[in-house]
Amino acid sequence: MMTEIQYPTAQHRITVSRIADYFKSQHVDTVLLVNSLAREKGTHDSDIDMAILVNPEVGDQAISQIENAWLEFQATDKLLNDYKSSGRFAHIHLDIIDGNFEQEEWEDGVDANFFEVEIGNRLLYSKPLSREGDYFKWLKAQWLPYYDTALQTERLYQSKNAFMYEIEHIPVFIKRQLYFQAYDRLNVAFRKFLQTLFIKNKTYPISYNKWIKEQIVDILRMPELYAALVSIFSINKLESNEIYERALALERLLNEYV
């Protein structure tokens, strides 16, 4: 029996139901509500995020046909357009997914990658709007509660190295008086800190740039760490060495918690 989802507004509920009904007729494996609405954290101005899991034998051409048919339906359906015109942030984000979670290449100087975020939001934090398909059940058995120790060890090593790459570049930018670039690197280092922390704790994250308190306090049960992380971004003077001091504080937290 499906769990009843509490939506922030009746219009959210009606719109999601309309989308779910449309895709139930497309012979897909599972229709998923994802992100804030799935976790019942949405508000009146929350957009609608959904993922449509197709069976593994469905090829790229068939996926393209499903996507094109959806775009045509979305553009012409009155109920969906009523929702989209109800507010500035009333958007519908929908992905057709095949359940093939691929690791991104680790590249120096780029942001944290979203391998764990994608798995978590698709399989752990999502809410099926139809019965759970056999493929969805199989994917959960493969990836939950977490991926295997060998992959965890490899990704933990890579994530820590990616974090240190950002930390070590911050004093270089400060020396060149590139303070905004140094601050940007501190933000990237913070997201890589979160990625490393979650990998260490074998827990899938929700996001690296929002719902931080929920993730640190409620999911990881580390309220004292959250308080320390808030202080990292209390910068009093941008054009100074203070950014690097905050970076070193973040590095100490990594050494303490990872």
Confidence grade of residue 18 (pLDDT, cut at 50, 70, 90): very high
Cα–Cα dist 127/72, whole Å: 25
Segment 39-43 mean pLDDT: 94
Give burial (CB, 10 Å; 0-12/13-18/19+) of 25: exposed
98-153: per-residue pLDDT in tens?
Answer: 999 999 888 888 899 999 999 999 999 999 998 899 999 999 999 999 999 999 99
Cα–Cα dist 107/113, whole Å: 10
44-71: per-residue pLDDT in tens?
Answer: 989 999 999 998 888 888 889 999 999 9
Give burial (CB, 10 Å; 0-12/13-18/19+) of 104: exposed
Count of CB atoms situated within 10 Å of the CB of 218: 12
185-237: per-residue pLDDT in tens?
Answer: 999 999 999 999 999 999 999 999 999 999 999 999 999 999 999 999 889 99
pLDDT of 1 over the 60 cut: no
pLDDT of 75 over the 70 cut: yes
Q: Is 108 left (phi over 0), alpha (psi -120 to 50) or beta?
A: beta
pLDDT of 34 over the 50 cut: yes
Enter the tokens of residue 56: 């593994």
Phi, psi values for residue 97, rounded to 5°: -120, 150
Enter the tokens of residue 190: 């913070």
The mean pLDDT value of the chain amounts to 94
Confidence grade of residue 89 (pLDDT, cut at 50, 70, 90): confident
Are 93 and 47 within 8 A, CB to CB?
yes
Segment 21-34 mean pLDDT: 90
The pTM of this model reads 0.92
